[in-house]
Structure 1
Amino acid sequence: MNLVNLESVSHAYGPKPLLSDISLGVEAGERIGVVGRNGGGKTTLLSVLAGTVRPDSGRVTHNRGLRVGFLSQQDTLDPTATIRELVLGGLAEHEWAGDQRVRDILANLIGDLDLGAKTADLSGGERRRTALAKLLIDDHDLIMLDEPTNHLDIEAIAWLAGHLAAQKSALVVVTHDRWFLDAVSTRTWEVVDGRVERYEGGYAAYVLAKAERARIAQATEERRQNLMRKEIAWLRRGPPARTSKPKFRVDAAQALIANEPPARETVELMRFAAARLGKTVYDLEDVTLHAGGPDTGPRVLDRLTWQFGPGDRIGLIGVNGSGKSSVLRLLADSIKPDSGRVVRGKTVRLAHLSQELAEVDPARRVLESVEEVRKYLQVGKREWTASQLLERLGFKGEAQWKVVGDLSGGERRRLQLLRLLMDDPNVLLLDEPTNDLDIETLNELEDLLDAWPGTLVLVSHDRYFLERVTDRCVALLGDGKLSLLPGGVDEYLERRAAGTAVTARLNTTPANGSDGGTSGRESVAAVASGTGTGAGSGGAVSGGDGSAGAGTSGQAAPGLSAKEERELRKELNRLERQLDKLSDQESRLHAAMAEAASDYAKLGSLDAQLREITTQKDGIEAEWLEVADRLGD
């Protein structure tokens, strides 16, 4: 059953038709990802489906009583309202805190934000999370999301994908996040030249199907050209003897796999990097760094020793606010470490793409602003002109003669990136380079970076781009170290989940016999996870298993004898000694990994040992918590 039907719908802004005679529908339970170039009509299609935009012609039909949830790119929230008022409405605390689904949404999107905070005081990312939480808490038959992953970190994106995939509601989502598309969508719509091309499956299936369509079209065109050549030859020399036509029987999947190009010519890149960069790129020696300056703000690095070598392609991962951009600024020499030193190679030629858009003369033309840096660039084994590279990044034809001041945010981002590449750097520091870029442009950028030699350090919440462009990942986990992740983003999410679980257990253990209640600002995470007190509900908030939330009583279990207490104290001391011993081993392993930064085989072995120690610590910490709880400590 279709929830929404479009019949012969057309719509245009100015002279440009975005939708031309479109007929399609969204079925109940269907999950659709919408892709296409920026400005191609994706948001218009979503708005027409949602009923917020009336098409120029055609008909849009909604089922009677259809409940539609629509998240636009612009978060229009009442600036005078609080988070509680917007997200929870008039629900009493015992109503929403007793609902596991609501607690899960709040814990993963609102986190530690104060429910009483005014939306006018929130950052762009916090406003986005608030709008998303408000939409997901309500019940809908059809959810429509326009770039929902903007301002979300990797963990939040992974949670959102899992949450949406588990819902019974139909879903239509516009996003440039290809990993997210693969995780949530079962069908893909491509908006191109006023049409909507439909494909089965998520992003990976869409890419294969589109490549197969292109192969078939090419084969058809080749056959047509062959027939034309034969007809012309026949007209010239008269009717020849009839011959059988060649047969084309090529399996689609085999043809695609056989012709798949290598991701990167690793040997060639390493040879070039070694020639251009030498052996030293960046050596961090005993570096300590705080985000706000010496000894102020969150600690990012704590006496870290690390090496970035020639040809390294490293993805830097961490939650928002963990200090990823600070690390890039440290490497770019725009900030200094609190202590220690950063040794920079003599041959390093740096390009740093920050999140802030660099100023370009707004009166200049796009092509002129690139050619003033350089007119030609060698990428791999091919020389490209500035115009050819502009075309690859979406500036086609007359778009190259647009005035810079008239460009959109995404176009400025592309222009800034190309100007950096045209300066022929051998070290690239990229901070969220995929912001505002559509999928086609991302594909072209990935192809350019594949052939680009040198050292690359990338910060991005676009998981697909991160794993596609880099060779290894490191994480800022809040311990002042750069932790190597042989398992990539999946390992990072596992470590974060394990660390969060331990932290939650520690936070629920009352200290000094207190009742474990929150004081001052209300912590959403504590209540949402079922660990806080249930103020306003007349007692403790129940967890999902029906048991009272932790932190409601800090008293020792009654009936402990003096002998039992002594035994428990001895056990507590034994566990603490084990934890200290494991922490020392952990520190030594971190130091050994820093020394073996260029020995990948040894790094893998050391990291396996580190993960084993982390697992042991988790188990011992859980035992320590149980003993401490019995003692009332």
Structure 2
Amino acid sequence: MSSHLSLAPARAAHVRASGVHICLGGRPVLAGVDLVAAAGDRVAVVGENGRGKTTLLRVLAGDLPADQGEVHRAGSVGVADQQLPLGATDTVGDLIDLELAAARGALAGLDDATAALTDGSPGAEDAYAAALAQAEALDAWDADRRVEISLAALNAVADRGRALGTLSVGQRHRVRLACLLGAGHSVLLLDEPTNHLDADGLGHLTERLRAHPGVVVLVSHDRALLADVATTVLDLDPSSDGRPRVYGGGYAGHVEGRRAERARWEALHADQLAERQRLAADLSAAQNRLRDNWRPDKGHGKHTRATRAPGLVRAVHRRQEDLAAHVVAVPPPPIRFALPDLPEHRGATLLRAEGVTVAGRLTRPVDVALDSGDRLVVTGANGAGKSTLLSVLAGVLAPDTGQVTTARGVRVGWLGQESDPPGGRTAVELYDERVARSGRSAPGLGSLGLLDRRDTHRPVAELSVGARRRLDLALVLARLPHVLVLDEPTNHLSATLVDELTAALGSTGAAVVVATHDRQLLRDTGGWPRLAL
């Protein structure tokens, strides 16, 4: 959906949110969001699923009023969200016309103003100047050509007579994104714009966003896009005071700033706990002194001790009051992800695949050999057989030709792209059952830093997509595998967790096989061996 306010030039564009609060269904979604973005700023909004990223874009676009706070925008606004604004019978041309309505309107207004100026109508000069400024703000004359360029670069359908209902979800997304990139809006609000884009499309999107003269606010799990584009990061994940954080210095600045923020949070919380423990120890000591002096031995110093008792009672009361007055105001910080100490199995090849193929899915014979500590990244286009190969290596799928052998006692942990169907049991019940079946002494679910306490004890069917993915990873780790086989492991995970997971995978003693399209993960594992399918 697109909307616009005043058609200010891109250099005058700005978006400002002050103290924005939103509750949906009685649940706080956004609390105290402050954001200021001027022309040239590209703001990435990050956070776990359910933190209100898409809700914030709706508020900034003016589609959802804030319960508290204010939002101001200057410049025309183009919004790419997850809902298409037209129906199945409408055409690609209708969508282009809708997204270019502001540019078309500006040109029509300029034609009218030109005619009035020619006729010598009163006030025509001022009207013409205003109409010209509006057309120039959108660079309206070139809008259709810019859309055509983006349609081609994004590999989108350019047939304007094609019904939208005949297009796939990905094709519709690419057409709409091309329209927005070409419309000349001063402010772009983009929700997961990299969905359904190939490498060329990602390159074009990155180039256009970096060159955008106005304001860009984007929600994305694509860390490579954030690293390449963002100048500022708004982090909606929990903080020590419950308010969102804004980090300058691009995505690298966010990573470093959040690391420092987490360290301060942990230290402050630890200091407050230590002070509470000190007060509790002082109270216990005072109570012990009172008990020992309140009942003196018969016939020896009885009156002397009795006269000291009121002072001891007052000391106990003071310490009780001190302890009651001390509040641990800083909430406990989220537990960092902690990969268990996965076992090594030296002296033998853990897993070997020789000449494996799967009819129609993995047609070229593949050989793989993994020892403890080995790393492997499986790459290839969609349909090349990456997921199929990983399923074969994990023993989930039998090959049609070739064979897979696993050393005696070696456990293989497999993370597929899809979760098991949800059930009524809780996350901790499933995890504890997996640990019991493995016969291993794995760490408790809470110590992994993957799920918060509330999600740990909720039925799996009630978990968000992101929490389900975290549980999937926890269930894989419950068996303490010697080999980790991970298919698109970053799907639905926050950027912070992915960074922690990537670092842990690089240092574990287990063998690790990863298949991914995640561009930042591919960059971060640039030193790992590759198997191209």
Report the Cα distance in structure 2 between the residues aligned to 1:104 and 1:451, rounded to whole angstroms.
45
- Pair 1:33-2:44 in alignment: yes
Residues 531-583 of structure 1: CA deviation (Å, up to 9, x unaligned): xxxxxxxxxxxxxxxxxxxxxxxxxxxxxxxxxxxxxxxxxxxxxxxxxxxxx
Q: Say which SS state the counterpart of residue 17 (structure 2) adopts.
A: strand
* 1:342 aligned partner: 403
Q: Say which SS state the counterpart of residue 244 (structure 2) adopts.
A: strand
* 1:602 aligned partner: none
Report the Cα distance in structure 1 between the residues aligned to 2:520 and 2:345, rounded to whole angstroms.
25
Q: What is the one-letter code of the residue matched to 1:431?
A: D
Q: What pairs with 1:295-334 in structure 2 (closer than 5 Å)?
A: 300-334=362-396
**Is the CA contact 1:5–1:24 (under 8 Å) kept in the aligned structure 2?**
yes
Report the Cα distance in structure 1 between the residues aligned to 2:403 and 2:162, rounded to whole angstroms.
40
- Pair 1:48-2:59 in alignment: yes
Offset, 1:67:
1.4
**Is the CA contact 2:350–2:483 (under 8 Å) kept in the aligned structure 1?**
no
- The 1:452/1:150 distance shift into structure 2, 3 A limit, reads farther
Q: Say which SS state the counterpart of residue 217 (structure 2) adopts.
A: strand
* 2:333 aligned partner: none
1:401 pairs, out of 436, 453, 457, with 457
2:487 pairs, out of 423, 427, 431, with 431
Q: What is the one-letter code of the residue matched to 1:415?
A: L
1:86 pairs, out of 87, 92, 95, with 95
- Pair 1:386-2:431 in alignment: no
Offset, 1:31:
0.7
- Pair 1:168-2:203 in alignment: no
Report the Cα distance in structure 2 between the residues aligned to 1:354 and 1:217, rounded to whole angstroms.
35
* 2:413 aligned partner: 351
- Pair 1:137-2:185 in alignment: no
- The 1:311/1:78 distance shift into structure 2, 3 A limit, reads farther
Q: What pairs with 1:403-418 in structure 2 (closer than 5 Å)?
A: 403-418=459-474
Offset, 1:188:
1.3
Q: What pairs with 1:225-236 in structure 2 (closer than 5 Å)?
A: none
Report the Cα distance in structure 2 between the residues aligned to 1:454 and 1:220, rounded to whole angstroms.
35
**Is the CA contact 2:21–2:33 (under 8 Å) kept in the aligned structure 1?**
yes
1:70 pairs, out of 43, 65, 79, with 79
Q: What is the one-letter code of the residue matched to 2:480?
A: D
Q: Say which SS state the counterpart of residue 472 (structure 1) adopts.
A: coil
Report the Cα distance in structure 2 between the residues aligned to 1:273 and 1:195, rounded to whole angstroms.
46
- The 1:288/1:378 distance shift into structure 2, 3 A limit, reads closer
Q: Say which SS state the counterpart of residue 374 (structure 1) adopts.
A: helix
Q: What pairs with 1:507-522 in structure 2 (closer than 5 Å)?
A: none
* 1:199 aligned partner: 247
Q: What pairs with 1:128-277 in structure 2 (closer than 5 Å)?
A: 128-193=173-238, 195-214=243-262, 272-274=344-346
- The 1:309/1:154 distance shift into structure 2, 3 A limit, reads farther
Offset, 1:356:
2.4
Q: Say which SS state the counterpart of residue 168 (structure 1) adopts.
A: coil
Report the Cα distance in structure 1 between the residues aligned to 2:476 and 2:270, rounded to whole angstroms.
40
1:59 pairs, out of 60, 66, 70, with 70
**Is the CA contact 2:14–2:37 (under 8 Å) kept in the aligned structure 1?**
yes
**Is the CA contact 1:42–1:174 (under 8 Å) kept in the aligned structure 2?**
yes
Report the Cα distance in structure 1 between the residues aligned to 2:520 and 2:213, rounded to whole angstroms.
26
Residues 426-458 of structure 1: CA deviation (Å, up to 9, x unaligned): 233222222222223324433553454333221
Instruction: Work out which of the two has the higher radius of gyration on C-alpha atoms and give 1 or 2.
Output: 2
Report the Cα distance in structure 2 between the residues aligned to 1:200 and 1:446, rounded to whole angstroms.
23
Residues 205-229 of structure 1: CA deviation (Å, up to 9, x unaligned): 1122233445567788899999999
Report the Cα distance in structure 2 between the residues aligned to 1:345 and 1:369, rounded to whole angstroms.
26
Residues 335-377 of structure 1: CA deviation (Å, up to 9, x unaligned): 5556x513322445333322222124x1111211111111699
* 1:20 aligned partner: 31
Report the Cα distance in structure 2 between the residues aligned to 1:156 and 1:317, rounded to whole angstroms.
19
Offset, 1:150:
3.0
TM-score, normalisation: structure 1: 0.58
- The 1:405/1:210 distance shift into structure 2, 3 A limit, reads closer
Offset, 1:317:
2.3
- Identify unmatched segments of 5+ residues in structure 2: 1-11, 101-139, 287-337
Report the Cα distance in structure 1 between the residues aligned to 2:439 and 2:444, rounded to whole angstroms.
9
- The 1:444/1:74 distance shift into structure 2, 3 A limit, reads farther
Report the Cα distance in structure 2 between the residues aligned to 1:225 and 1:372, rounded to whole angstroms.
34
Report the Cα distance in structure 2 between the residues aligned to 1:427 and 1:47, rounded to whole angstroms.
43
Count of residues paired in the alignment: 424
1:126 pairs, out of 167, 171, 174, with 171
Question: Could you say what the CA RMSD is over the residues aligned between the two structures, in angstroms?
Answer: 4.2
**Is the CA contact 1:87–1:137 (under 8 Å) kept in the aligned structure 2?**
no
Report the Cα distance in structure 1 between the residues aligned to 2:267 and 2:413, rounded to whole angstroms.
43
**Is the CA contact 1:144–1:173 (under 8 Å) kept in the aligned structure 2?**
yes
- The 1:158/1:274 distance shift into structure 2, 3 A limit, reads farther
* 2:353 aligned partner: 283
Report the Cα distance in structure 1 between the residues aligned to 2:354 and 2:149, rounded to whole angstroms.
40
Residues 92-134 of structure 1: CA deviation (Å, up to 9, x unaligned): xxx9999774454223322589776544344443343333223
Report the Cα distance in structure 2 between the residues aligned to 1:326 and 1:138, rounded to whole angstroms.
41
Q: What pairs with 1:417-456 in structure 2 (closer than 5 Å)?
A: 417-446=473-502, 448-450=504-506, 452-456=508-512
* 2:324 aligned partner: none
- Pair 1:371-2:432 in alignment: yes
Report the Cα distance in structure 2 between the residues aligned to 1:223 and 1:364, rounded to whole angstroms.
37
- The 1:414/1:74 distance shift into structure 2, 3 A limit, reads farther
Report the Cα distance in structure 2 between the residues aligned to 1:97 and 1:59, rounded to whole angstroms.
34
Q: What pairs with 1:105-116 in structure 2 (closer than 5 Å)?
A: 105-110=150-155
Offset, 1:27:
0.8
Aligned identity (percent) is 34
Report the Cα distance in structure 2 between the residues aligned to 1:152 and 1:354, rounded to whole angstroms.
22
Q: What is the one-letter code of the residue matched to 2:353?
A: D
Q: Say which SS state the counterpart of residue 481 (structure 2) adopts.
A: coil
Q: Say which SS state the counterpart of residue 5 (structure 1) adopts.
A: strand
Offset, 1:289:
5.0
Offset, 1:313:
1.9
Q: What is the one-letter code of the residue matched to 1:72?
A: D
**Is the CA contact 2:88–2:164 (under 8 Å) kept in the aligned structure 1?**
yes
Q: What is the one-letter code of the residue matched to 1:141?
A: S
Report the Cα distance in structure 1 between the residues aligned to 2:481 and 2:99, rounded to whole angstroms.
56
Report the Cα distance in structure 2 between the residues aligned to 1:195 and 1:326, rounded to whole angstroms.
44
Offset, 1:20:
3.2
Report the Cα distance in structure 2 between the residues aligned to 1:272 and 1:206, rounded to whole angstroms.
35
- The 1:199/1:341 distance shift into structure 2, 3 A limit, reads same
Report the Cα distance in structure 1 between the residues aligned to 2:377 and 2:22, rounded to whole angstroms.
41
Residues 296-352 of structure 1: CA deviation (Å, up to 9, x unaligned): xxxx543555544443222222333333223323434555556x5133224453333
- The 1:304/1:83 distance shift into structure 2, 3 A limit, reads farther
Q: What pairs with 1:435-584 in structure 2 (closer than 5 Å)?
A: 435-446=491-502, 448-450=504-506, 452-468=508-524, 471-474=527-530, 476=532, 482=533
**Is the CA contact 1:105–1:133 (under 8 Å) kept in the aligned structure 2?**
yes
Q: What is the one-letter code of the residue matched to 1:402?
A: R
TM-score, normalisation: structure 2: 0.67
Q: Say which SS state the counterpart of residue 443 (structure 2) adopts.
A: strand
Offset, 1:86:
3.2
- The 1:461/1:280 distance shift into structure 2, 3 A limit, reads same
**Is the CA contact 1:96–1:103 (under 8 Å) kept in the aligned structure 2?**
no
